[in-house]
Amino acid sequence: MRVAFLGLGRMGAPMAAHVIRAGHETTVWNRSPGKTDELVALGATAAGSVAEAVGGAEVVVTMLFGPEAAREVLSEVLEHAPRGALVIESSTIGPEAARELGAQLAGGGLRLIDAPVVGTTGPAQEGTLGVLVGGTLEDYNAAKPLLELWGDPAKVRRIGDLGAGSAMKLVINITIGVAAQGLGEALSLASTLGVDRAAALDVLQTGPFGFTTTQKRAMLDAHDFSATGFSLDLLTKDLELALRAAGGAMPATSAALGGARGAVAAGHGDEDYSAMVGWLEGPGSQPAPYFSVVLDCADPERLAGFYSDLLGLPVVWRAGAFVVLRPVVRGTAALIFQKVDDPGRGKSTAHIDLHIADLEASTKRALELGGAVGEDVSDVGMSWRTMRDPEGNTFCLVPG
C-alpha cells in the first residue's frame, strides 16, 4: 500500500515506523526539518513538501498538533492527493473540526476518518495504542489494517460516524486534566497540613488518583518532568477544545485548564503533563497561583491592572492568560474561569467568578476602577453579584 505519513513528532514518528516495518511503501513529511532521517533509514522516502508526499498515495495519515495545523495541511492534501484516497486524521482536533474537514475533503473526492489515539510515547513505540475512530463502516474497515499497526487490535474501535472518535478523545482527555489538577491540589493540601509528602503519595496511589499517581510517581519523586510522554501544551490544547465543544459550564475542566495554562505560562509546556501536578503543588509545596484567559480582550495590560487593583494581588498578562503571581489565600480571593455565550453581545466572553471576603467593599472598588454593576442573583443556596469589567466581560463577586 502507498502511504503518506504527515507529522513526525513524539507520536507520529513511532507510528510511521510501524507502517514502514510492515512493508508499506511509505513517504514521510514533517514541517520542521531533521525528523525524517531515522525513518528513511528504515526504508521510508522523505518528501520536501506535502504535495510531494501525497502524490500517488492511497492512504494519507496525519498526526499534527491541533485543528489549525490540520486545516492547513489537509488543504494541501485536498489539492494534491489522488481522488479516492483515504485520509486518516490521527491528531486530536475535536469533533467540529473533524466534520468540517471531512465535508471539505469529500467535496474533492477524498475520504476521511478521524482516528485519534489513546496513549503516550511508550505505547506508540510498542504498537499498543488505543485508536478511536469516527467514520463510515466501509472506511473504518479499509483503514483497520493500518490502524492495527500502531494500535492494539483489541483497542482499535469504531465509536460512530465522522467526528465521534474525536469527541470520545476529548471525553478521555478531560479526565487526565482533572486528575492532574486534583492530584496537584491534594499534594498542596498535604503540605499545608504537614503531611509527609512520600506518605501522601503512597496513600494517594491506593485511592481515586491511583492511576495518575502510580504512572507518574518517578517524575513526582524526582521533581523532573522532562521525560515527556504526553506534553502539557497538548493537554492544554485538548482541554480548550473540550470546553469549546461542551458549549456550557464544566467547572472541574475549567479549573484543570487553569492549572494547565498556569504551568505552561511558567515554562513547562514541552514537559510531561504531570509537570502541572508539580506546578500546582507549588514551590516549597505552597498553594498554586490561579489565573484566567479573558476572551475578546483589546487591552490586556489595562484589564490586568483592573483585576490586580480589585483583588489586591499582582496580576499580569502572560502567554494569553491573566496570571495571579502570588498564592491565593482562602478568604481573600479565588478565581474560577469558564467560557460562556453572551447573546446580548453576540459573542463568547470570559465568565469570571471572584470569591471575595467583603461584597460591598469589592463592589465599590470595582466601580472606582471602571466596572459596572449588573444584578444580584441567588440560586441553590448561593448568592452573587454580576458586574462588567472595563471591557464589558462579565464577572461575578461571590461572598465567602
**What are 336-372's pLDDT values in tens digits?**
333 333 334 333 344 566 767 788 888 898 898 888 9
* Tens-digit pLDDT profile for residues 95-147: 999 999 999 999 999 999 999 999 999 999 999 999 999 999 999 999 999 99
Cell 500500500 locates to 1
Predicted local distance difference test score (pLDDT) of residue 394: 77
Cell 465535508 locates to 103
Give the alpha-carbon dihedral of 333, 336, 337, 342, to 10 degrees.
-90
Tell me what the mean pLDDT of segment 299-315 comes to: 74
**pTM given for the model:** 0.72
Retrieve residue 394's grid coordinates.
462579565
* Tens-digit pLDDT profile for residues 377-392: 876 566 788 888 887 7
* Tens-digit pLDDT profile for residues 158-179: 999 999 999 999 999 999 999 9
Catalytic hit among 35, 144, 169, 216: 169
| Distance (Å, whole) CA 132 – CA 130 | 7
Cα 162 to Cα 96, 101, 115, 387: the distances in Å are: 10, 10, 9, 41
Is 169 an annotated catalytic residue?
Answer: yes
DSSP designation for 250: -
Predicted local distance difference test score (pLDDT) of residue 342: 39
| Distance (Å, whole) CA 26 – CA 40 | 9
Within 13 A of 215's CA, how many CA atoms are on the CB side? 18
Predicted local distance difference test score (pLDDT) of residue 336: 38
Q: Do 228 and 146 touch, CB atoms closer than 8 A?
A: no
Helix, strand, coil shares of the chain, percent, nearest 5, are 45, 25, 30
**pLDDT higher than threshold 80 for residue 300:** no
| Distance (Å, whole) CA 190 – CA 51 | 55
Indicate the range of 144-148, 156-160, 278-282, 298-302 predicted with least confidence.
Answer: 298-302
Predicted local distance difference test score (pLDDT) of residue 392: 79
Average per-residue pLDDT in the chain? 85
**pLDDT higher than threshold 50 for residue 331:** no
Tell me what the mean pLDDT of segment 226-247 comes to: 92
- Which comes out higher in pLDDT, residue 371 or 76? 76
Tell me what the mean pLDDT of segment 199-220 comes to: 95
Structural domains of the chain ordered from first start: 2-162 (3.40.50.720), 165-288 (1.10.1040.10), 290-400 (3.10.180.10)
